[in-house]
Amino acid sequence: MNTSKAIAEESEAKMPKIKFLEGVDIPVFLISGGALVLFCILALYDIKMVSGWVNSTFAASTKMFGAYWQVLLLLTFIIGIFMAISRTGGVVLGGLKAPEMSTFKWISIIMCTLLAGGGVFWAAAEPMAHFTSPSPYFGGETGTTEAAYNALAQSFMHWGFLAWAILGSLTGVVLMHLHYDKGLPLKPRTLLYPVFGDKVMKGAFGTIVDSCCVLAVVAGTVGPIGFLGLQVSFGLEKLFGIPDTYSTQVTILVGLICIYTLSAVSGVTKGIQLLSSINIVLAIFLMVFILIFGPTAFIFDSYLHSFGLYLNNFIPMA
């Protein structure tokens, strides 16, 4: 047994065992869960105070780490391109002779788990936001054809090559290698193993890393789920006359959370794969419908023009 795998098994063996929480990292669960419960209690007590904390913290982190994030995204993309075109691009990960699922199913899962509700909302909202309030890079007047092209180009930057490089490419490759080839667990701390070694796999440091990642995932997931509740409730009122009330929104959110939980519990190859495939088929149908019955010429023209702007200004925008 290699050292890495032994460390992982030793770390898991030391965790407290509770039957209904079997497989759960108890310290991470308590830290991240406790932080979330505390956040909710404070929000219920004084939402304005919590909102002020969130906004000020976000502004401070952007000011302090904005340049670092920009360089990190760009370097991640460059490294990902190099890995794809070099000899590492042909390496098979996972120790399998053939993939467990088809390319379509795999792409469906990647699209739906990474874009998810955020993509559904911001696909339309972000271009409109940049159209009415141009980004600092492009500037100019609002409400013009040029502003529309610039808005789409800015949206491509936020949801394009750089985002996918860090979301579904380089990070996934590194984690797969460490898990399948080195025997390390599928945990966020595993990504830091090449840097910190055994120290991050057991002890408080790794627990803090995993807890922070759980909180980050929750923070990035709650917003899109809330947006979906608002969107679906608004759509139901417009289409079927169902009142767009708070109770309707809560009911929709509970339903969405139940569907999400069931799909997650059933596993990647079952519930998540099935829902992802259905969503992609519906998305393709909607896209084809809009292309045929919508302003086809304008869609192609604006896409090509904006994508050209995106490529031409890629480095300065990044």
Tens digit of each residue's pLDDT (9 = 90 or more) over 34-68:
999 999 899 889 989 998 998 999 899 888 998 88
Rounded CA-CA distance 11/34 in Å is: 22
pLDDT at position 168, please? 67
Lowest mean pLDDT among 14-18, 229-233, 283-287: 14-18
**Full-model pTM:** 0.75
Q: Give the percent of the chain with pLDDT over 70.
A: 92
117-173 pLDDT tens trace: 667 777 788 888 888 888 888 877 788 888 889 999 998 988 888 888 877 678 888
Query: Taking 50 as the threshold, does the pLDDT of residue 175 lie above it?
Result: yes
What is the predicted pLDDT for the residue at 6?
54
Nearest 5°: phi and psi at 225?
Answer: -65, -40
Q: Residue 1 above 50 pLDDT?
A: no
Per residue in 118-129, pLDDT (tens digit) is 677 777 888 888
User: Could you report the per-residue pLDDT of 55-114, keeping only the tens digit for each?
Assistant: 999 899 888 998 888 888 888 889 888 888 888 887 877 777 777 788 888 888 888 877
| Mean pLDDT, residues 199-224 taken together | 87
Residue 271 phi, psi dihedral angles, 5° rounding: -60, -50
